Amino acid sequence: MGNGIAQVFAQHGFNVTLIDVSDAVLQQAVNRIEGSLSKLQQKGKLSAEQVAGARERLGTGTSLSAAATSELVVEAVSENLALKSKIFRELDGLLDPDAIIASNTSSISITTLGAVTHRPAQVAGMHFMNPVPLMPLVELIRGAATDQEVIDTIHDLCLRLGKTPVLAQDYPGFISNRILMPMINEAVFALMEGVGTPEAIDTVMKLGMNHPMGPLELADFIGLDVCLAIMEVLHQGLGDDKYRPCPLLRRTVAAGHLGRKSGRGFYSYAQEAAIAR
């Protein structure tokens, strides 16, 4: 999601440095941003000047030191506590003491991430939704030690990004995934038990409940490994068996079928993956 977050900041007048592990990965991210900006221009949502401005404001780097002078860093690495903690420690040593470190985590504790730094008051959650350029919500998460001033700053920032911020307290899954993931997990149970085909389950939720995507289609879009990781956090953090990940979700992830990004999940995307490569 990092490319979408960087794009939205650049679109709204902020200088952004997108950091990733290699030039090849960064090039893919820049290509995605280019594609999205062109689409938004084609649809009349951005002018040619706005697209050019966004491109100018976007830089890239392969080292965290490229963020050393930033006032805000939004971390968006995979849902892995050890990896996020390592990055938070490193950023804490690099950034100005007043800088804010935010995480785009979908379920990992902001309080825990804040505690690995010497600035827990300036650590918060900024949870964007996918696809970031289109989705209006940003869930803001207040850790146990987060300053109200920091929440006010990131709240105003979201408004400047054209997003609607909603505040959640730091409990597993926050608001969004506390509600979304059990629904997706239940859809996987319904599939495992043969209650309906993937198409039937998704059609019921799309046409019966007006959801833009069915739960299985949405799970493929989010990434089945991400869905599983979030269910594990809910199960462990809330200690209730109603959050146990469905065995079919575990099995599908174990098979390497991670959804759209791997070309197969509950549906097959062979053609799409081939085009993306």
Residues lying near ligand CAA in the complex (CB under 6 A) are found at 36, 39-40, 106, 129-131, 133-135, 176-177, 212-213, 218, 222
Active site residue 139: yes
Residue number with the shortest CB distance to ligand CAA? 106
Catalytic-residue membership of 177: yes
Q: How far is the CB of 41 from ligand CAA (least distance, A)?
A: 10
Nearer to ligand CAA, 134 or 207 (CB): 134
**Coil, helix or strand at residue 111:** helix
Paired tokens of 218: 């949405």
Token pair belonging to 262: 């791997």
3, 106, 107, 176: the catalytic one is: 106
* CB of 28 or CB of 130, closer to ligand CAA: 130
Give the whole-angstrom CA distance, residue 33 versus residue 22.
17
Q: Shortest approach of ligand CAA to residue 29 CB, angstroms?
A: 12
Say how many C-beta atoms besides its own lie within 10 A of residue 69's C-beta: 11
CB of 39 to ligand CAA, least distance (A): 4
Among 101, 100, 109, 75, smallest CA distance to 5 is for: 75
Nearer to ligand CAA, 39 or 160 (CB): 39
Collapsing DSSP states into helix, strand and coil, what is residue 14? Answer: coil
Q: How far apart are CA 57 and CA 16, in angstroms?
A: 6
DSSP string, 124-177: EEEEE-SSTTT--EEEEEE-TT--HHHHHHHHHHHHHTT-EEEEEESSTTTTHH
Clarify whether 185 is annotated catalytic. Answer: no
Among the options 75, 79, 139, 217, which is catalytic?
A: 139
Give whichever of 54 and 222 is closer to ligand CAA, judged by the CB atom: 222
Q: Do 268 and 262 meet the contact criterion of CB atoms below 8 Å apart?
A: no
To ligand CAA, the closest distance from the beta carbon of 94 in angstroms equals 27
Q: How far apart are CA 141 and CA 74, in angstroms?
A: 13
Q: In what order do the strands lie in the sheet with 72-75?
A: 72-75, 100-103, 123-128, 137-142, 164-169
What is the nearest approach in angstroms of ligand CAA to the Cβ of residue 127? 6
Is 49 a catalytic site residue? Answer: no
Kindly tell me which of 146 and 176 has the beta carbon lying closer to ligand CAA.
Answer: 176
Residues taking part in catalysis = 106, 127, 139, 177
